[in-house]
Structure 1
């Protein structure tokens, strides 16, 4: 979902960078008016890569939290125009009309305005839970925990990939690397290492060999959507996953991703389900394109 506020319901299915971050840099051109000279030095760089600085990661998590809050708008729009709700509103307006025997125009407009206002306030009330969900996204969300809910000392923090245009964080993706199961680990066990130093240095790199990547959040700022930034974030996530887990490692969307919680009945969540299905297809397409590109090399 590069672009929606949501990343998908999906179990295995298918940078702004600062100092010290791994980055890829490109530039984009500003609109130019006729006769106006533009210096390339005035165009902010577009940087994409794995974030290593805490401040950059905080900016990326803020972007994810904003995407959760934006779900309220999508959910409200779905409820306002849902046929069942519209039918209920029409019935309420009809009853209000019938209960006004004097047919006084001023009174009728006031009553009907009150009915419509109540309708909108009710929808606002039901969708308000997205705000505390967004506020509840804290730093510890990217820290893996064990089955007891305690921080897992053997696990590393999620990998956060960011896209920054100049100084502004415009895209973020949170990737969790999952080590292989015991059965998979036995099949992909690395050869023994004699050197104690090598053993320590390779332990972390081999921990995820044979595992896979799970995307827990994927979003961009509204005004930068549909410009390829989300696709670039996905490609970087695939690259990181296959560098750490193996060249054939899979990457999937998490079932409990950042935008997976729905606060209204399922019949009003159709826009989110469509976006989840689109995101799954987009990820599959990106994976297929990368595999075909590797085969051509």
Structure 2
């Protein structure tokens, strides 16, 4: 009798919508996916600004300049308040300069529209009604890596996941879906385009380490998926 009174445990996932990943033909979903891509480019600006601020060389120069100005003003005018406000003004001017140096990311984000998309396929991941990730694949013909003149391959021109859903496997699932779609089409391969949406670098190479590591990780992940995907090495007629 006691066992009959015990309520069955509730499903912790009850009411949680499933993730769905597929090629979308819905205009509204395409708009949301393109906005995600544009947002990811704009977010690169913030990362670039942070890279500039925390770089040891830049920090050393900023500290040296502020120290020299503060010392000069204090010794010449003996006014701590004026020295402090002047240093604050210099610091704000430095931050404004950093924002200016990275403004090209915003210009690049504004280019993401249906004209940029062309005939490429948009694969989305939805969590309930929310588009949380996308990979955009353009299907092109031409000489591929196997040096076949009329090779058919996919080029990933954008790949991103909404910020709060990153590092949860959503991005990997999107790439896996892109690989599956390539197999269906009989494509020779699928690879990141050299000029994909997040390829822009506006700073010197020494400031781009975080971008380059992220890109290399993405390319390695795609390579692993291609190696382990079913149908590897088999080609189908188009």
User: Would you say same fold, with TM above 0.5?
Assistant: yes
Residue pairs, 1:41-120, within 5 angstroms: 42-100=15-73, 101=75, 102-120=77-95
* Residues 226 and 232 in structure 2, CA contact (< 8 A), matched pair in contact too: no
Match of 1:243 among 173, 184, 189: 184
The alignment partner of 1:99 has SS state of: helix
Show the counterpart of 1:176.
138
User: Are 1:139 and 2:114 matched, yes or no?
Assistant: yes
**Per the alignment, do residues 107 and 288 of structure 1 end up closer, same or farther by CA in structure 2, a change over 3 Å counting?**
same
Please give the alpha-carbon distance, in whole angstroms, between the structure 1 residues aligned to 2:206 and 2:232: 41
User: Are 1:122 and 2:97 matched, yes or no?
Assistant: yes
* Residues 180 and 229 in structure 2, CA contact (< 8 A), matched pair in contact too: no
* Residues 68 and 130 in structure 1, CA contact (< 8 A), matched pair in contact too: yes
* Residues 48 and 164 in structure 1, CA contact (< 8 A), matched pair in contact too: yes
The alignment partner of 2:200 has SS state of: coil
Aligned residues: 222
Show the counterpart of 2:225.
286
Show the counterpart of 1:20.
none
Please give the alpha-carbon distance, in whole angstroms, between the structure 1 residues aligned to 2:182 and 2:226: 12
Show the counterpart of 1:192.
none
Show the counterpart of 2:236.
none
Please give the alpha-carbon distance, in whole angstroms, between the structure 1 residues aligned to 2:109 and 2:64: 35
The alignment partner of 1:261 has SS state of: coil
Question: Which segments of 5 or more consecutive residues in structure 1 lack a partner in the other structure?
Answer: 1-35, 144-156, 187-209
TM-score by length of 1: 0.68
* Residues 92 and 115 in structure 1, CA contact (< 8 A), matched pair in contact too: no
**Per the alignment, do residues 41 and 184 of structure 1 end up closer, same or farther by CA in structure 2, a change over 3 Å counting?**
same
User: Are 1:273 and 2:235 matched, yes or no?
Assistant: no
Question: Which segments of 5 or more consecutive residues in structure 2 lack a partner in the other structure?
Answer: 1-8, 234-238
282-291 or 216-225, which moves further after superposition? 282-291
Please give the alpha-carbon distance, in whole angstroms, between the structure 1 residues aligned to 2:11 and 2:216: 42
Please give the alpha-carbon distance, in whole angstroms, between the structure 2 residues aligned to 1:185 and 1:117: 55
TM-score by length of 2: 0.84
Show the counterpart of 1:7.
none
* Residues 70 and 84 in structure 2, CA contact (< 8 A), matched pair in contact too: no
String of CA shifts for 1:44-80, please: whole Å, max 9, x gaps.
2311111112221111111101101101111000000
Please give the alpha-carbon distance, in whole angstroms, between the structure 1 residues aligned to 2:12 and 2:213: 42
Show the counterpart of 2:155.
214
Please give the alpha-carbon distance, in whole angstroms, between the structure 1 residues aligned to 2:42 and 2:207: 17
Return the offset for 1:107. 1.9
Match of 1:257 among 169, 192, 196: 196
Show the counterpart of 1:165.
127
The one of the two structures with greater contact order (alpha-carbon pairs below 8 A, sep at least 6) is 1
Show the counterpart of 1:10.
none
Return the offset for 1:40. 5.6
Return the offset for 1:227. 0.7
Please give the alpha-carbon distance, in whole angstroms, between the structure 2 residues aligned to 1:124 and 1:113: 17
